[in-house]
């Protein structure tokens, strides 16, 4: 039941993200400095959306003599297209936010991690294109890469989409303006770069 609620919540937030994106607004950035990350996945997302649109058209032609099947497949295809665009919209309207006391690291609807600035031991610009799963590390990959690495003095708790909790001491993520984010964090926390 908890998983079903989480998935329904995800779908509703995705639809809300589409509305925010259409209105050119962001979510949860009030009073902080926003750092986007969606540009790094834009080409892949739009390529996937194009493939979904072509597949929708192709299935319409193939199933034109089976109206009931065509209707079901058309609804599923259109929802898939909406889902792909919705995931991109969620990333675009939910940027990372540097506030006065914390850095809010986000990845679409899947991750929303608040890292208190006092826990940031070091921050560096580090482009990585390969990532291995390791205990105590969180890699939020966008477009097959991360560009910022945070080392924390104490672990923070990461909660997954389905509610799994785990402590992390190293966080790697992507920011479109990684240099600007690293500079702002170094100044705001007095940490080394």
pLDDT (tens digit per residue) in 36-73: 999 878 888 999 999 999 999 999 999 999 999 999 99
Q: Quick one: pLDDT at residue 191?
A: 59
Judge if 7 and 89 occupy the same domain.
yes
103 pLDDT higher than 90: yes
- List the structure tokens of 136: 């105590």
Q: Quick one: pLDDT at residue 190?
A: 60
Number of domains making up the chain: 2
- List the structure tokens of 144: 């097959």
Judge if 81 and 145 occupy the same domain.
no
pTM for the full predicted model: 0.86
67-93 and 42-62 helices, crossing angle to 10° = 170
- Which residue range forms the structural domain that includes residue 57? 2-26+38-93
Q: What is the mean pLDDT of the chain?
A: 91
Nearest-angstrom CA–CA distance, 137 and 169: 6
193 pLDDT higher than 70: no
- Per-residue pLDDT, averaged over 105-113, amounts to 93
pLDDT above 70 as % of the chain: 97
In a domain, 31, yes or no: no
Confidence at 148, pLDDT banded by 50, 70, 90? very high
Judge if 73 and 126 occupy the same domain.
no
């Amino acid at each position: 039941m908890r998983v079903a609620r989480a998935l329904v919540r995800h779908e509703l937030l995705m639809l809300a993200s589409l509305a925010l994106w259409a209105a050119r607004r962001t979510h949860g950035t009030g009073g902080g400095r926003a750092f986007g990350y969606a540009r790094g996945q834009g080409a892949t997302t739009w390529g996937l959306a194009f493939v979904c649109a072509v597949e929708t058209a192709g299935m319409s032609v193939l199933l034109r003599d089976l109206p009931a099947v065509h209707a079901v497949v058309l609804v599923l295809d259109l929802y898939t297209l909406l889902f792909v665009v919705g995931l991109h919209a969620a990333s675009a309207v939910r940027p990372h936010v540097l506030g006065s006391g914390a850095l809010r690291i986000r990845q679409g609807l899947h991750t929303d991690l608040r890292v208190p600035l006092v826990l940031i031991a070091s921050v560096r610009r580090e482009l990585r294109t390969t990532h291995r799963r390791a205990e105590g590390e969180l890699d939020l990959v966008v477009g097959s890469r991360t560009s910022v690495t945070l080392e924390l003095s104490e672990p923070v708790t990461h909660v997954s989409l389905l509610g799994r909790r785990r402590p992390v001491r190293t966080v790697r993520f992507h920011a479109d303006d990684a240099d600007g984010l690293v500079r702002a964090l170094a100044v705001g926390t007095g940490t080394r770069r």
